[in-house]
Amino acid sequence: MQVRFESMRLEHIDQVVEIEKKSFPTPWPRQTFEFEVLYNELAEYAVAVDNGRVVAYGGMWLVLDEAHVTNVAVHPAYRGRHIGRALMLELIRRAKARGATRMTLEVRPSNTVARSLYKSLGFVEKGIRKKYYQDNKEDAIVMWLEQFPPDGC
């Protein structure tokens, strides 16, 4: 498996939506991804591609010196291969290149795999957004990465 990262383009969106639907109980619709790619100047989205197939994607909004991760997902058939970690490092690299000095995200308390990944990258749990998730009113843990890891981690 040889995964490479590309900026998300319109031709990736069908595969991104497929992963989104397999990963989240309230998936974003195709139109949201189209808007993000075409019109949102604050947005930065990347896809992980293996042999022409999108196997993961992630995105963020960059406002001043802050990157806010909007979503990260790996196709179920590709989980457990460290693609999520590589994707997060790619997002961090892109955030730094666009002038961000820190990063934030929300994650479900029940998503222990993602929480462990984020902690391994230096994210710290800083707060709770009560009843954040629409599908089951689960809280969201707000995590911050106050100092980016060195390149190549």
Name the residues annotated as catalytic.
Answer: 106, 118
Query: What DSSP string describes 27-87?
Result: PPPHHHHHHHHHT-TTEEEEEEEETTEEEEEEEEEEETTEEEEEEEEE-GGGTTSSHHHHH
Nearest to 136 by CA among 106, 101, 109: 109
8 A C-beta contact, residue 21 and residue 30:
no
**Other Cβ atoms closer than 10 A to 71:** 20
CA dist 122 and 24 (Å) reads 24
Chain-centre distance of CA 135, in angstroms? 19
